[in-house]
Amino acid sequence: MLILKSVLGKVQEFALQGKNVEVVSLNWDEMGKKMMRKTTSAGREIGIAVATYLQHEDVLYTGEDTIIAIELLPTKSLVIEPSNMEEMALLCYHLGNRHSSVFYQEGRVITPYDDILGGILDRLGFAVSIEERRLSGALNTIRGHTHS
């Protein structure tokens, strides 16, 4: 099994002509894992042991005729665009209260789809849309948070 330990760059930085691009498809919550065992699109079993948060189109391997790259799979998501800071504060309160993962992209707050949360936000009057999104750029959270 091939063990991949570092990000070599982005797909766009490599000459792809004549090379097979093998893709490793990951969900948003796998992008931050430090160690994984996965299978590429060509059926090759690999180990990933990186110290950084992976990004869409990161290249982990380049050989004579092969490149192995990451694909961040789109995820069903709640997309909210608060109209003012008061709405943003209320939104952040409810997302934090539910320990939801939060992403900020293009002026919008995005969280993985949750039917109950979507209903709460709708009842509170937020304009919520449901979209397939590549969830990257999670806002930092405190690891190991507990309530005592």
pLDDT greater than 80 at residue 147: no
Q: What is the C-alpha to C-alpha distance for residues 76 and 112, in angstroms, rounded to an integer? A: 6
Q: Which domain holds residue 106?
A: 75-133
Task: Please check whether residues 92 and 113 belong to one and the same domain.
Answer: yes
Task: Please check whether residues 56 and 39 belong to one and the same domain.
Answer: yes
Task: Please check whether residues 51 and 97 belong to one and the same domain.
Answer: no
Q: How many domains does the chain have?
A: 2
Judged by DSSP in three states, 122 sits in helix
C-beta separation of 15 from 43 below 8 A: no
Q: Is residue 144 part of a domain?
A: no
Q: Is residue 145 part of a domain?
A: no
C-beta separation of 47 from 4 below 8 A: yes
* Predicted pLDDT of residue 132: 96
pLDDT greater than 80 at residue 64: yes
Task: Please check whether residues 91 and 46 belong to one and the same domain.
Answer: no
What is the CB-side half-sphere exposure of residue 79 using CA atoms within 13 A?
A: 14
Q: Is residue 87 part of a domain?
A: yes
The pLDDT tens digits of the residues spanning 67-125 come to 999 999 999 999 999 999 999 999 999 999 889 999 988 889 999 999 999 999 999 99
**CA terminus-to-terminus distance, the chain:** 44
Last residue of a domain, one of 24, 57, 72: 72
The pLDDT tens digits of the residues spanning 3-44 come to 999 999 999 998 888 899 999 999 999 998 889 999 999 999
CA of residue 90 relative to chain centroid, distance: 24
Please compute the mean of the pLDDT values over residues 53-80 and round it to a whole number.
94
pLDDT greater than 50 at residue 142: no
For residue 60, the domain's CATH number is: 2.60.260.20
Q: What is the C-alpha to C-alpha distance for residues 80 and 85, in angstroms, rounded to an integer? A: 13
Task: Please check whether residues 80 and 31 belong to one and the same domain.
Answer: no
Last residue of a domain, one of 44, 72, 100: 72
Block residue for tokens 């939104």: 91
Task: Please check whether residues 120 and 82 belong to one and the same domain.
Answer: yes
C-beta separation of 67 from 22 below 8 A: yes
